[in-house]
Each structure stands twice: as structure tokens, then as C-alpha cells.
Amino acid sequence: MFKSEKKMRAALSVLAVVFGASAPVSSFAQDAAAQAPAQGVGAPKLGWYKTCSKQEDNDICVVQNLILANGGQFVTAAGLISVSGKINRKLLQVSVPSARLIPPGIMMQIDGGKGQKLDYVVCLPDKCTAEVPLTDAMIASLKKGSDVIFTSINFRRAPTPIKISLEGFTGAYDGEPVSESKLAETQRSLQEGMQKKAEEARKKLEDAQKAAKAQ
């Protein structure tokens, strides 16, 4: 049992950093995170959605939201993880880009209320992940809220708050999980949209450079 708990703990600790996996996979952490399409400033949006999988004697569901910039750069990932079966555990994990100050952790605020600190549990070259036990009170606050803000401190000691709308959160949390086929279809559509925006931006830049040379 100790080994099983240790294995599950390790998997949960890196769960949020694999949001955005590009293909279906079989391991626990990647199954739970599934494929996360982009959401960000000016980017196509999927919002909150739930994926579920089974690992050995456990059922794992994750209600998640991933924020990417227009260029596809990772901004923030949030996941509410519920494990039931041989092991029962609920966690909230949030990932932010690397180059963060570790002691401050990530501060979570719902509708500007009292902040709650999430301590970092792992940092990889591209992401740092913080987590906190997920309580019924926290879930209720997220369901009632309009927005949640996750604030981390970068290496320049500057706060970097990211606001995520909670619209659709309750439906995702209480509803059925998204099917793999539907998620893949939505991801393809969002990726095509981002590629189109990137191409349009590239063309505008080229046109501007040509116009500048012509003067």
C-alpha cells in the first residue's frame, strides 16, 4: 500500500505539467490530463472540461482549463483532480511557466476574495506546479464564483496574475466527461484557428516590412 501511495503521489505531483499532451497515451498522469486545447488572450477557447480514465483499481477524473498565448506559449494550467477506488484523494494543481520564486507559491483568489496559497511541489525546465488539497468548500466557492485569479511571482519579483473565467465550471464539474473523439475534434479545430491567426500575423508583419522598405 505504501508503494502504491508513493507511486500515486508521484503521478499526481506532475499531473498538471503534462496538460497539453499532443496524443492519447496510457500512463496514469497523461490519461488524467488528456489533451488540452488552447485558451488565452485572443486564442480560441474551450474553457473548463472534464476527462476521466481508469488506472488499476482507481478512477481518475480531472476538471481542467489550459491557458495558452496566441503563439501557443504556455501560460497557466489548472486541474481539479479526483481519485476514487483503492486510493481516495482530491487535489487542485496549478502550473505556471518556470523562472518563478519558489517561497511565495501561487496565490489563488476567487472573485477578489481572501487569497489561498498553493505551494510548489515540482519545477521542470518549462513549468512549475503547485498543489493544495481540494475541499468541498473550495469546490463550492469555484461553482459560485465568476473568476479565479492565480498569481505567481517571477524571477524579477514581479507578480504575474492570470484571470480565468469560471463560466462553465459547474457544468464541467457536475457533468459527463468529454469523449476522446470530441476532444480530439475540438483540439484540431482550435489548432487550425491558431495556425490561421499566426499566418495572418506573419503576413501583416511582412507587408509592414515591405511598406517600410518602399518608403
How far apart, in whole angstroms, are the C-alpha atoms of residue 176 and residue 52?
Answer: 9
Question: Which three three-digit cell numbers place residue 28?
Answer: 496514469
**Contact of 17 with 129, CB cutoff 8 Å:** yes
Nearest to 90 by CA among 137, 126, 49: 137
How far apart, in whole angstroms, are the C-alpha atoms of residue 204 and residue 198?
Answer: 10
pLDDT digits (tens, 9 = 90+) for 182-202: 666 665 666 666 666 667 777
Stated pTM of the model:
0.70
Query: Residue 72's pLDDT band (boundaries 50, 70, 90)?
Result: confident
Residue 210 structural domain? 2-214
Note the pLDDT of residue 163: 95
pLDDT digits (tens, 9 = 90+) for 21-67: 322 222 223 333 333 333 333 444 578 999 998 888 899 999 999 99
Note the pLDDT of residue 45: 56
Is the pLDDT score of 157 beyond 80? yes
How far apart, in whole angstroms, are the C-alpha atoms of residue 180 and residue 183?
Answer: 5
∠ CA 39-134-23, nearest 5°, is 40
How far apart, in whole angstroms, are the C-alpha atoms of residue 119 and residue 104?
Answer: 8
Bridge partners of residue 106, in order along the sequence: 118
**Contact of 5 with 86, CB cutoff 8 Å:** no
Note the pLDDT of residue 209: 84
Note the pLDDT of residue 191: 64
Cα distance between the two ends of the chain: 73
Helix, strand, coil tally for the chain in percent (to 5): 35, 35, 30
Q: Give the pLDDT mean for 137-160.
A: 96
Residue 139's CATH number:
2.60.40.1880
Bridge partners of residue 90, in order along the sequence: 82
Quote the DSSP letter at residue 121: E
- Scanning the structure block, which residue is given the C-alpha cell 485572443? 42
Note the pLDDT of residue 20: 33
Coil, strand, or helix at residue 214?
helix
Domain count, the chain: 1
Burial class (CB in 10 A: 0-12, 13-18, 19+), 64: buried
Residues whose CB is less than 8 angstroms from the CB of residue 33 and which lie 6 or more positions away in sequence, other chains included: 15, 16, 18, 19, 20, 21, 51, 62, 64, 79
| Chain center to CA of 33 | 9
pLDDT digits (tens, 9 = 90+) for 163-185: 999 999 999 999 999 866 666 66
Note the pLDDT of residue 207: 81
Note the pLDDT of residue 1: 41
Q: Give the pLDDT mean for 97-101.
A: 94
Q: Name the more confident of 9 and 54.
A: 54
Q: Name the more confident of 10 and 152.
A: 152
Note the pLDDT of residue 182: 62
